[in-house]
Structure 1
């Protein structure tokens, strides 16, 4: 890649990453399949909610900081993931906080960064879902809303609170919403800024907390929700009929840094490189459907490969969008066959472990891809599917797909160097 302003070869590396999901803050391990992380929502459907330990972290985050007690759950999940990413990247000293007191990094809402100002780019399909529904219910009951209703429910409040929590004193704070590819919209924007020399470091990712009665009713109304029980692995990508879509909550955030060719060469540890981001769109009448051949997937994949200067043969595995809907799963595989031919790369998915987290799903899929690149391992699904259970050669480059309502799709290529 070339910096548009300096003309020098450069790479964008994932310096740190963090996540929170139905698996907590952990990543899936190889070996026997774990206990199903799904639970039954009060409405009677299976969901992928946070486990107890992660729920405690959310509660503590809200309790410790008065300003955070009013925030939507979507924002709090982003803060937890961003803190992990920033700490792993080593971007904060973890000691001196904005109030001058010394304490552990996770005990304070903000901490002073030891680097120049960074930018923030966060995607979310629905934003402050819970708070918006609460404020609307209050309005219907009382005819009025609190002063804070508007600022707490705008999409932009997600990125701005992440920036505040990271101790940002300058730089852009960007929020994106493009249904289930929102996180890759945020990531693509961050990559463009880095390549253009408009920033040197970014926190970018996606977050979603959609497990509300109203949102679940919307998903059920579409007719795609899984009929399987929470204990029966209800989300089954690539398993065919019936539809096994299951809603989940979570967040994943990445600490991105632009390195010159010389800096990248001087690194002594393997690098995770964000090699390309591509986008696709197909104009079809149905805003919830897609073409059988997945034209938007094809566009996004080709663009990501071109940006990364790679061919289909260079890709070792694909982390699918594949939400467990028969039509969506089939269209994505048709798109892959159009590009890769009959012999597809290894097909992987983490939705059978996390559910579909809407605007956070692409980021959590990328986090999963990074985990596979680092460990060369992942758990095997305990149901019949076309997902791979193991590799017969090293995995160096992974394509990650995402798509959403409205005909949009996005793809990312990540590689280990």
Structure 2
């Protein structure tokens, strides 16, 4: 990286809420937010947004006739983008880019339109523009009334951190001064749940912690889907209003061995982590927020990659999926948010399953990992 990248604003929606104080308070409660919900006539373990946040989304939907036909994934992105740019003190007079992606996109709306088509052989007039990925950033841009570049994409579960990579590339190329980046996901739909169940990775564990992410001795897959979105505002260089800084970025893709898996020692993560920490002493990485989806192979392969890179000096390890579920394309940015909150509060939020040693020094630099189906890994170093 040519220069450090300042994070000047961030906001999110998840099962933890949408306000920073409540999010941090919920992170400090050592219990999962995963509960059963009836989806398509079956009770399924999921991580849903709280009622008060759902009410916020409903008010947003009803605030403008044009918003009434939008998918929740788009409304999530609009709501948190408003909050993030307000924190960064950006206005519509600022020229900034927007890159918000999603793994699933407008899946609830697409399933609704498809069901209508199967029954009637007809499709709603707005079925196409409201279900394309491109409508994410374009609607956020419309809502914020900005004129910068708009990009939406899907790179499965590493989508939001790929958005960060893209925003940094634009900044360091000198094409814009500011970029709003992140991911959004509203995946609690019948078809999406059925897909994960068909893969044999969905949790049937009804214990206190249905998703056992970072339990390296578990005997069954325990992935649980959550809904959520997260964005950050980034700017080049040192800023007086910086909340945190991106000091390193890395990325890598594996040659596919299987449609949904990565190699035994997650070579993609080894490469992305080594790229992200280039020029940084290994001992300076205080903690890693792992991708750790709660599957047997996913958790173990990432842990082996960390062992390969860090040897006997493995940093503190954690993940948030045991608490908030796997939010697909937005998961990497929600992990980055956790890293920022831990740095701000000098407090490690631990997984219930991994026995970290007690921290002896302040948290100053944290590595964040994300990967998607097909081995599309991203690693980011964040500091304060």
Same fold (TM over 0.5): yes
Corresponding residue number in structure 1 for 2:86: 87
Local SS of the residue matching 2:56: helix
1:140 is aligned to 118
> Partner of 1:139: helix, strand, or coil?
helix
Quick check: 1:204 aligned with 2:181? yes
Asked if structure 1 preserves the Cα contact closer than 8 Å seen for 2:283 and 2:313, the reply is no
Cα deviation, 1:5-63, whole Å, max 9, x if unaligned, reads: xxxxx431110000000011142348963553222121222100001111111111101
Match of 2:210 among 234, 237, 240: 234
Query: Distance between the aligned counterparts of 1:162 and 1:284, measured in 2?
Result: 34
> Are the counterparts in 1 of residues 32 and 324 from structure 2 also a CA contact under 8 Å?
no
Q: Does 1:20 align with 2:13?
A: yes
After the TM superposition, which of the residue ranges 389-398 and 50-59 deviates more from structure 2? 389-398
Further displaced range: 355-364 or 282-291: 282-291
- Backbone CA RMSD of aligned residues: 1.7
**Which of 347, 356, 364 is residue 326 of structure 2 equivalent to?**
356
If you compute each CA radius of gyration, which structure gives the higher value, 1 or 2? Answer: 1
Instruction: Give the equivalent residue in structure 2 for 1:63.
Output: 62
Distance of 1:400 and 1:32 partners within structure 2: 19
1:70-109 pair list within 5 angstroms = 70-92=69-91
Structure 1 residue 64: deviation in Å? 1.2
Report whether the alignment pairs 1:311 with 2:287. no
Preserved contact between residue 256 and residue 262 of structure 2 (Cα < 8 Å):
yes
- 1:44 alignment partner, SS class: strand
- Offset at residue 375 of structure 1 (A): 0.6
Unaligned runs of 5+ in 1: 3-9, 93-112
Residue segments in structure 2 that go unaligned for 5+ positions in a row: none
- After TM superposition, give the deviation of residue 128 of structure 1 in Å: 0.6
Indicate how the Cα distance of structure 1 residues 250 and 408 shifts in structure 2: closer, same or farther if over 3 A, else same. same
SS of residue in 1 equivalent to 2:360 = coil
CA distance in 2, matches of 1:173, 1:149: 21
- Secondary structure of the residue that 1:339 maps to in structure 2? helix
User: Aligned partners of 1:339, 1:365: CA distance in 2, in Å?
Assistant: 20
The answer (yes or no) to whether the contact 1:245–1:323 under 8 Å persists in 2 is yes
* Structure 1 Cα separation of the partners of residues 333 and 82 of structure 2: 15
What do residues 352-385 of structure 1 show as CA deviations (whole Å, max 9, x unaligned)?
111000000001000111101111124444x4x1
**Which residue in the other structure is 2:142 paired with?**
164
CA distance in 2, matches of 1:143, 1:400: 46
Q: Distance in 2 between matches of 1:134 and 1:387?
A: 44
Q: Tell me: CA distance 1:299–1:63, structure 2 relative to 1, closer, same or farther (3 Å).
A: same
Distance in 2 between residues matched to 1:286 and 1:387, nearest whole Å: 31
8 Å Cα contact 1:250/1:360 also seen in 2 = yes
Shift of 1:85: 0.7
For 1:150 and 1:174, locate their aligned partners in 2 and report how far apart those are by CA, in whole Å.
18
CA offsets 1:191-224 (integer angstroms, 9 cap, x no match)? 0100111110111001100000110010011111
The question of 1:33 aligning with 2:29 is answered yes
Q: Are residues 1:126 and 2:104 paired?
A: yes
Q: Residue 6 of structure 1 corresponds to which residue in structure 2?
A: none
- TM-score under structure 1 length normalisation: 0.86
Matching of residue 155 in structure 1 with residue 123 in structure 2: no
- Over 3 Å counting, the alpha-carbon distance change for 1:285 and 1:48 in structure 2 is same
CA displacement, residues 131-188 of structure 1 (integer Å, 9 cap, x when unaligned) = 11111111101101112111111111011111111121x2110012111000111110
Q: TM-score, normalised by structure 2?
A: 0.94
Mapped pair 1:297 → 2:304: no
Check 1:178–1:147 CA distance in 2 against 1; reply closer, same or farther (3 A cut).
Answer: same
Residue correspondences, number: 376
Match of 2:196 among 219, 224, 244: 219
* Structure 1 residues 208 and 256: alpha-carbon distance in aligned structure 2, compared to 1, 3 A threshold: same
Counterparts in 2 of 1:338 and 1:378: CA distance versus 1, 3 Å: closer
> What displacement does 1:284 show?
2.5
Report what 2:170 is aligned to: 193
Cα distance in 1 for residues equivalent to 2:266 and 2:88: 36
2:214–2:319: 8 Å Cα contact kept in structure 1?
no
